[in-house]
Chain A
Amino acid sequence: MHILVVGGGMGGTILANNLARRLSGELEQGSSKITMLSASDKHMYQPGLLYVAVGKMSTTELYRDQKSLLEPSIDFHVDPVEKFDLDNNSVTTKSGKKISYDILCIATGSRGNAAGIPGLAEHACQFYTEADALAMYKKLQKFEGGKVVVATGVPHKCPMSPLEITFFLIDYFKKRGIWDKVDLHYTYPIGRVHSLEPVANWAAPEFDKEGVTYETLFNMKEVVPGKVISEEDSSAEFDLLVTVPPHKGQQVIEDNELGAGGFIPTDKKKLNMEGRENVFVLGDTTNLPISKAGSTAHFEAEALGENIAALVQQGEPVREYDGKVFCFIEAGDGKATYAMFDYNNPPNPQAPTSGLHWFKTAYNRMYWASARGII
Chain B
Amino acid sequence: MSDRILVDAKNTFCPGPLMELISNMKMADVGAELELLSTDEGSAADIPEWVNKVGHEIIESFKEDDVLHIIVKKVK
Please give the residue numbers on chain A whose beta carbons come within 8 Å of chain B beta carbons, in ascending order. 116, 154-155, 159, 189-191, 195-197, 217, 219, 231-232, 246, 260-261, 268, 289-291, 323, 325, 339, 341, 343-344, 346-347
Note all chain A residues with C-beta closer than 8 A to B42. Answer: 197
Contact between B22 and A195, CB atoms less than 8 A apart: no
Whether B27 lies near A260 (C-beta < 8 A) is yes
The answer to whether B15 and A343 have CB atoms under 8 Å apart is no
The residue that B46 contacts in the complex, of A190, A219, A341, A347, with Cβ under 8 A, is A190
Which residues of chain A come closer than 8 Å to B53, judged between CB atoms?
217, 232
Contact partner, A195, options B8, B13, B27, B50, Cβ 8 Å: B13
B23 at the interface (CB under 8 A from A): yes
Q: Tell me if B46 and A289 are in contact (CB < 8 A).
A: no
In the complex, how many angstroms separate the beta carbon of A37 from the nearest chain B beta carbon? 27
By beta carbon, the residue of chain B nearest A219 is B22
Say whether B18 contacts A191, CB under 8 Å: yes
Contacts A196-B14, A289-B20; A246 near B50 (Cβ below 8 A):
no
B19 pairs with A189, CB closer than 8 A: yes
Total B residues in contact with A, Cβ cutoff 8 Å: 23
A344–B16 CA distance with the chains assembled, in angstroms: 13
Q: Is B59 an interface residue (CB 8 A)?
A: no
Give the interface SS of chain A, mostly helix, strand, loop or mixed: loop
Residues of B near A159 (CB, < 8 A) are: 14-15
Complex: chain A residue closest to B49, CB-CB: A191
B72 interfacial by beta-carbon distance below 8 Å: no
Tell me, yes or no, whether B9 is within 8 Å of chain A by CB: yes
B12 at the interface (CB under 8 A from A): yes
Q: What residues of A have a CB within 8 angstroms of the CB of B11 in the complex?
A: 323, 343-344
Contact of B50 with A289 in the complex, beta carbons under 8 Å: no
B26 touches A246 (CB 8 A): yes
A250 to chain B, nearest CB (A): 15
Q: Is the CB of B26 within 8 A of A190?
A: no
B54: interface (CB < 8 Å):
yes
Would A325 and B49 count as touching, CB distance under 8 A?
A: no
CB atoms of A341 and B14 under 8 A apart: yes
9 residue pairs of the A-B complex, CB under 8 angstroms, read A190-B19, A190-B50, A196-B14, A232-B53, A232-B54, A289-B12, A325-B14, A343-B11, A343-B12
